[in-house]
Every structure is written in C-alpha cells, then in structure tokens.
Amino acid sequence: MFIPKVYRSEDQELMKKIISENAFALLISDKEKLSATHAMFILNETDDNFYLETHISKANFQAKVLKDGDDVLCDFLGAHSYISSSWYEKTNVSTWNYEAVQIRGKVKLMNDE
C-alpha cells in the first residue's frame, strides 16, 4: 500500500496499539491461489520483537495449503472516516482518513501438541 511520507509512521508502539485495538484482520497468502481469511489475532511480545498468533479452521482452503515458512500479509484496519473537501483551505478532492497496519511475515504452524 502506498503511503505518502507525511502520513507514514514507523512507530512500532503505535502499530501494536492499532493491532491490539483492531484484532480482527485479514490473513492474506498466495500459496497455490490468492487467499484471504478474516481472523482474530493475538499480539505476543518478546524482549525485542513481537509476533502474531491466530487460528483458522482446518476446513479453510488457506489452512490446507499454508506451510511453515510461507510468506503472509496481515492487514489490520483501524479507525476510518470520510473527509469532505470543504475542510481544506484550497480546492481539493474528498478523501478518506484511516489507520491501517500491514505486517508481512512467515508462517509457523502450530498443532495440538
């Protein structure tokens, strides 16, 4: 997703806050075919990093094809709202104001054991 530099944030604490407050997100992969599953995510922190944990049904196509090490994208959408062009001092187009966090990573499968 393209984000103009003026609006981009690299603040990991803010990203973790948006993830925690908007934990229902899309798990996206392109293994065999492009797939997206809505799922609840738990943000887990280590001393120097964090990782995401989720569960998807074994009956889900995406669960059947994902393997350890596969690349995925998790897309979290936070607060969002329409902004009228009348809010601008000069003529401009209407826009949408939103919070979003995209996390790319690799799958590590967990099982009952």
Q: Record the pTM.
A: 0.85
Domain boundaries, the chain: 5-106
Q: What is the pLDDT of residue 32?
A: 85
pLDDT digit string, tens, across residues 3-33: 778 778 889 999 999 999 999 999 999 988 9
| Separation of first and last alpha carbons in the chain | 37
Q: What is the pLDDT of residue 91?
A: 66
Structure tokens at 13: 């604490």
Q: What is the pLDDT of residue 85?
A: 79
Alpha-carbon distance of 83 to 97, in angstroms, equals 7
Q: Which residues of the chain have pLDDT under 70?
A: 1, 91-94, 113
Q: What is the pLDDT of residue 84?
A: 82
**What is 5-106's CATH number?**
2.30.110.10
Q: What is the pLDDT of residue 89?
A: 76
